[in-house]
């Protein structure tokens, strides 16, 4: 690291910070002197005008929050989530034409799966940037990214695993290690997220809420055994046979044209 | 304003800031999503505050938390893999902030990375200018001490 006292030399002494330039372009000055200073300075400083141009030229990521209402937003946990990625193998879009226009049932209600007071909710960000909570049975597509919110009646340990139509059992959150400790509370957004892979068909997202830190491998093994008992039909899977509260959230994965 | 209108109006403040601090476009998009979800949850707070000030503070803290997680994660990996710390050719922001107290990290970002005035920092951080000045002095002293240690610990080559 260079000597920090010398770092702050990239702009002229009176040049405007990005903070002031943002306030200028958005017209949100709190202090009148700031506005007057910015106006005068921009009139005389080509460098700051160029920086303002650069700021205005930034292309915003196309996220769609139109389906979001304040009541539908989960409580964010103290630490922000590091997105974790599943490898996505995009199959040839052979069936895309047959899928037609897919409509995602975005909702504003409190619909979540329930089990012994434990509730699992899903927040999705589609590949076209739409963000919001989704309902049971929502149609999602490969490439969409999911995060999970849990309402916990007691302190405990939770994990979310996926059982899909091709018979695969995948740990979603956490991806490895042991179940995540969670405090009692409503709509806790879990650390970790997944990107849906290219399998299509019904997919069952199972929340396991346990009194102990269940190893993820144990949850996956229980899921595989349950699928085997159901002859591979995810719709017919019943309990996973673990000493945990279990609740499911169904999604339908289809290719999006 | 609807959530989407708020995003369209203020989104670039968060996106640019996150991209600058995290140095990664995908991480910046994730930051946008999380910061705006937080905003919509705290809409009354946002509407009461100065919007740009609120967004700078929340985005900065969000990114700093990610960076701290990265540092912690790397420390764990280093502890598992080897007793030697990893040596990257170019230090990341995480490397630069490693070992500094959290309250100094935020101020250092505003001052050294954003080149804000102490008055602007005081407004965003919600502290007095004197406190900003004191924290910058503390940061400089710690940085100086850290560099002194680096040289003292370096093996003699001649």
- DSSP one-letter string for A149-163: EEEESSSEEEEEEEE
Least confident of A71-75, A88-92, B65-69: A88-92
Tell me if the bond preceding A253 is cis, omega within 30° of 0: no
d(CA A250, CA A42): 55
Contact A80 B28 (CB under 8 A): no
| Sign of the CA dihedral with B78 first, then B84, B90, and B95 last | positive
* CB-based contact B40 A68, cutoff 8 Å: yes
Reading the block at residue A120, the tokens are 């699992």
Q: Is the pLDDT of residue A158 over 80?
A: yes
Would you say residue A78 has pLDDT above 60? no
In angstroms, the separation between the Cα of residue A86 and the nearest Cα of chain B is 15
Determine, for residues B7 and A73 on separate chains, whether the beta-carbon distance falls below 8 Å. Answer: no
Where is B78: in which H helix or E strand?
helix B51-81
The pLDDT value recorded for residue A99 is: 26
Pick the residue from chain A with its C-alpha nearest to B56: A19
- Other CB atoms closer than 10 Å to residue A257's CB: what's the count? 13
pLDDT band at A141 (very low <50, low <70, confident <90, very high): very high
- pLDDT top residue among A220 and A75: A220
Looking at chain A, which residue has its C-alpha nearest residue B113? A8
Q: How many CB contacts within 8 angstroms connect chain A with chain B?
A: 122
Q: Which chain A residues touch B if contact means CB-CB below 8 Å?
A: 1, 3-5, 7-8, 10-11, 17-20, 22-23, 26, 28, 30, 55, 58, 60-61, 63-66, 68-70, 73-76, 78-83, 123, 125, 131
Contact B114 A17 (CB under 8 A): yes
pLDDT at B92: 58
Among the partner-chain residues A5, A19, A23, the one whose CB lies closest to the CB of B140 is A5
Q: Model ipTM?
A: 0.81
Q: How far is A147 from chain B (nearest CA, A)?
A: 11
Contact: B29, A61; criterion CB under 8 Å = yes
CB contact under 8 A, B41 and A131: no
pLDDT digits (tens, 9 = 90+) for B102-145: 888 899 889 888 889 999 999 999 999 999 999 999 988 887 77
Chain segment A207-229, per-residue pLDDT in tens? 999 999 999 999 999 999 999 98
Can you tell me the distance from the alpha carbon of A139 to that of A251, in angstroms, rounded to the nearest whole number? 6
What is the structure's pLDDT at B114? 86
Nearest C-alpha in B relative to A64: B4
pLDDT at A236 (0 to 100): 82
Most A CBs within 10 A among B41, B109, B133, B138, hence the mutation to make, goes to: B41
Strand residues in A116-254 grouped as ranges (E): 118-125, 131-134, 138-140, 145-152, 156-164, 169-173, 180-182, 185-189, 194-195, 201-210, 245-253
What's the gap in Å between the CA of A229 and the closest CA on chain B?
39
Residues B107, B110, B112, B115, CA torsion sign: negative
CB contact under 8 A, B33 and A4: no
Q: Does the CA dihedral B87-B67-B33-A250 come out positive or negative?
A: positive
**Which of A139, A114, A143 is closest to A246 using CA atoms?**
A114
For B144, the closest chain A residue by CA position comes to A3
Q: How far, in Å, CA of A6 to CA of A18, rounded?
A: 19
**Range A76-79 contact pairs with CB under 8 angstroms and sequence separation of 24 or more:** A76/A189, A76/B34, A76/B37, A76/B38, A76/B41, A77/A188, A77/A189, A77/A190, A77/A191, A78/B65, A79/A191, A79/B65, A79/B69
Contact B15 A131 (CB under 8 A): no
Chain A residue whose CA is closest to B51:
A28
Find tokens 């990107």 and name the residue. A195
Nearest CA-CA partner of A25 in A37, A39, A13, A45? A39
Determine the distance in angstroms separating the CA of B9 from the nearest CA of chain A, rounded to an integer. 8
Residue B151: strand, helix, or coil: helix
Q: Which of A57, A68, A128, A191 to mutate to test the interface with B (most CBs of B within 10 A)?
A: A68
At B105, list the tokens: 């990290």
Q: Which residues of A142-175 are buried (b: 16+ CB within 10 A; e: fewer)?
A: bbbbbbbbbbbeeebbbbbbbbbbeebbbbbbbe
Asked if B147 and A1 come within 8 Å (Cβ–Cβ), the reply is yes
Closest CA to A133 of A253, A246, A251, A247: A251
| CA neighbor of A154 nearest in space, from A188, A123, A204 | A188
Residue B135 pLDDT: 93
Most A CBs within 10 A among B8, B55, B105, B115, hence the mutation to make, goes to B115
pTM score, two decimals? 0.58
Q: Give residue B103's pLDDT.
A: 85
């Amino acid at each position: 690291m260079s000597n920090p006292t010398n770092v702050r030399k990239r702009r002229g002494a009176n040049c405007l910070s990005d903070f002031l330039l943002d306030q200028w372009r958005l017209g949100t000055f709190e202090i009148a002197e700031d506005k007057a200073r910015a106006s005068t300075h921009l009139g005389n400083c080509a460098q700051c005008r160029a920086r303002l141009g650069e700021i205005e030229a930034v292309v915003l990521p196309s996220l769609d929050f139109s389906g979001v209402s304040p009541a539908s937003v989960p409580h964010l946990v103290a630490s922000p989530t590091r997105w974790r990625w599943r490898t996505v193998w995009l199959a040839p879009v052979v069936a895309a034409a047959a899928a037609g226009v897919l409509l995602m049932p975005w909702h504003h209600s409190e619909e979540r799966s329930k089990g012994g007071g434990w509730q699992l909710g899903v927040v999705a960000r589609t590949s076209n940037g739409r963000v919001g909570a989704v309902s049971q049975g929502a149609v999602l597509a490969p490439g969409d990214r999911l995060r999970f919110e849990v309402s916990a009646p007691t302190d405990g340990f939770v994990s979310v695993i996926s059982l899909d139509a091709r018979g695969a059992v995948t740990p979603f959150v956490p991806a490895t290690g042991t179940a995540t400790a969670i405090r009692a509370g409503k709509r806790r957004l879990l650390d970790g997220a997944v990107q849906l892979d290219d399998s299509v068909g019904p997919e069952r997202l199972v929340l396991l809420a346990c009194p102990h830190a269940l190893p993820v491998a144990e949850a996956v093994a229980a899921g595989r055994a349950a699928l085997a008992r159901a002859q591979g039909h995810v719709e017919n899977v019943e309990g996973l046979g673990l000493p945990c509260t279990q609740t499911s959230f169904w999604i339908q994965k289809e290719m999006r044209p | 304003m609807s959530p989407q209108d708020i995003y369209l109006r203020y989104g670039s403040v968060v996106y640019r800031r996150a991209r600058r601090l995290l140095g990664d476009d995908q991480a910046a998009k994730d930051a946008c999503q999380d910061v705006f979800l937080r905003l919509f949850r705290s809409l009354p707070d946002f509407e009461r505050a100065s919007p740009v000030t609120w967004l700078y503070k929340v985005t900065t803290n969000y990114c700093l938390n990610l960076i701290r997680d990265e540092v912690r994660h790397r420390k764990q990996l280093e502890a598992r893999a080897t007793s030697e710390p990893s040596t990257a050719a170019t230090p990341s922001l995480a490397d630069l902030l490693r070992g500094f107290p959290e309250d100094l990290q935020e101020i250092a970002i505003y001052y050294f990375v954003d080149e804000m005035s102490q008055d602007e920092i005081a407004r965003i951080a919600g502290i007095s200018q004197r406190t900003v000045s004191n924290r910058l002095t503390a940061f400089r002293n710690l940085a100086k001490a850290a560099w002194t240690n680096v040289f003292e610990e370096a093996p003699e080559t001649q």
